Structure 1
Amino acid sequence: MLRKMINFFPYSFILLLLKQMTKKDFDVIIIGAGVSGLTAAALLSKSGLKVCVLERHYLIGGYLQGFDRKGFVFDTAIHWLNQCGDQGTVTKVFEYLGKDFPRPITMQSIHQHETKNYSFVLTNNPEELKAQLINDFPHEEAGIEKFFKAARTVADVSNKFPQFFLSNESLSGFEKMTYKLKQLRIIYPIIKYALYGGEKGVEKGLRKFFKDERLLELFCSEPDLLSCLFPIAWAYNKDYQNPPIGGSKVIPEWLESKIEKNGSEVILSAEVTNIGIVNNVFQEVTYKKRHKDYTISANHLIAACDIDTLYNKLLPAEAVPQKLKEKLAKSELYSSSLTISVALDCTAESLGFKDVMLYLFNEETKRTEHISGDPHKSFISILAPTVRDKTLAPEGQGTLNIFVPAWMMYENNWKTKVNEKGEFV
Structure 2
Amino acid sequence: MNYDVIIVGGGIAGLTSAAFLSKDGYKVLVCEKEEKVGGLVNSFNYKGFTFDGGIRAIENSGIVFPMLRQLGLEIDFIKNNVSIGIENEIIQLTSKASLVDYQHLLNHQFPDNTDDIQKIINELKRVMTYMDVLYGIDNPLFLDLKKDRAYLLKTVIPWMFKYFVTIKKIVKLDTPVYEYLEHFSKNPALIDMIGQHFFKNTPAFFALSYFSLYLDYQYPKGGTGAMIESMKTLLLDYKGEIRTQTEICKLNPQLKQIEDLNKNKFNYKKLIWASDLKKLYTIMDLESIEDATVKQKVLDQKNAVSNKIGGDSIFTLYLTLDLDKSFLKNLFSAHLFYTPSKKGLLTINLNDLKAKLSESGDANYISDKEAIFKWLRKYYELTTYEISCPVMRDANLAPKNQTGLIVSTLLDYSLVKHIFNMGWYEEFKRFSQECIITVLDATLLKGFKNKIIDQFSSTPLTLEKKTGNSQGAITGWAFTNAIIPVVSSLPDVGKSIDTPHPDIFQAGQWSFSPSGLPISVLTGKLAADAVKKQLK
- Place the TM-score, normalised by the shorter chain, in its bin: 0.7 to 0.9
Mapping of residues 124-203 of structure 1, within 5 Å: 124-131=94-101, 133-134=103-104, 136=108, 140=115, 143=119, 146-159=122-135, 165=141, 184-195=164-175, 197=176, 199=178, 201-203=179-181
- Listed one character per residue, the Cα deviations across residues 159-195 of structure 1 (whole Å, up to 9, x for unaligned) are 25865859xxxxxxxxxxxxx9996533123333333
- Is 1:28 the counterpart of 2:5? The answer is yes
Q: Give TM-score, length-normalised by structure 2.
A: 0.60
How far apart in 2 are the matches of 1:62 and 1:323? 28
From 335, 339, 360, the equivalent of 1:360 is: 339
Runs of 5+ unmatched residues, structure 1: 1-23, 167-179
Secondary structure of the residue aligned to 1:343 is strand
CA distance in 2: counterparts of 1:331 and 1:67, whole angstroms = 32
After superposition, the Cα gap between the structure-2 partners of 1:93 and 1:64, relative to the gap in structure 1 and judged at 3 Å, is same
How far did 1:106 drift? 2.6
User: Which sections of structure 2, spanning at least 5 residues, go unmatched?
Assistant: 143-159, 290-294, 352-374, 424-460, 472-536
Q: What are the equivalent positions in structure 2 for 1:13-412 lying under 5 Å apart?
A: 25-83=2-60, 88-100=62-74, 102-107=75-80, 109-115=81-87, 119-131=89-101, 133-134=103-104, 136=108, 140=115, 143=119, 146-159=122-135, 165=141, 184-195=164-175, 197=176, 199=178, 201-207=179-185, 216=191, 218-221=193-196, 222=198, 223-235=202-214, 238-242=215-219, 244-278=220-254, 283-288=256-261, 292-316=262-286, 319=295, 321-331=298-308, 333-350=310-327, 352=331, 354-367=333-346, 374=376, 376-377=378-379, 378-412=383-417
Structure 2 distance, partners of 1:283, 1:220, is 45
Distance (Å, rounded) in 2 between the aligned partners of 1:331 and 1:54: 25
For residues 286 and 224 of structure 2, the distance between their equivalents in structure 1, rounded to whole angstroms, comes to: 36
Q: CA deviation at 1:128?
A: 2.8
CA offset at residue 217 of structure 1? 5.3
**Structure 2 CA distance for partners of 1:272 and 1:131, relative to 1, 3 Å:** closer
Residue number in structure 1 paired with 2:439: none
> Quick one: which amino acid aligns to residue 222 of structure 2?
G
- Contact 1:193/1:226 (CA < 8 Å) preserved in 2? yes
CA positional deviation for 1:303: 0.9
Distance 1:127 1:213, change over 3 A: farther
Does the 8 A contact of 2:334 with 2:390 survive in 1? yes
Name the CA distance, whole Å, in 2 between partners of 1:405 and 1:97.
34
Q: Output the CA distance in 2 between the equivalents of 1:53 and 1:369.
A: 45
1:122-141 residue CA offsets vs partner (Å, 9 max, x unmatched): 51313233156257569538
Contact 1:37–1:304 (CA<8 Å) still a contact in 2?
yes
Identity of paired residues, percent? 22
Q: TM-score, normalised by structure 1?
A: 0.74
Quote how far apart the aligned CAs of 1:299 are: 1.3
Structure number with larger C-alpha Rg: 1
SS of residue paired to 2:123: helix
Contact 1:121 1:129 in 2 (8 A): no
CA contact (8 A) 1:151 1:232 kept: no
Question: What is the CA distance between 1:258 and its match in structure 2?
Answer: 0.7
Distance in 2 (CA, whole Å) between partners of 1:371 and 1:251 is 38
**3-state SS of paired residue (1:253):** helix
Alpha carbons of structure 1 residues 123 and 263: separation in structure 2 relative to 1, 3 Å: same
Task: Specify the code of the residue in structure 1 equivalent to 2:335.
Answer: V
Distance 2:4 2:234 in 1: 17
Does the C-alpha gap of structure 1 residues 315 and 259 become closer, same or farther in structure 2, counting only changes over 3 Å? farther
CA contact (8 A) 1:130 1:144 kept: no
> C-alpha distance in 2, partners of 1:206/1:155?
21
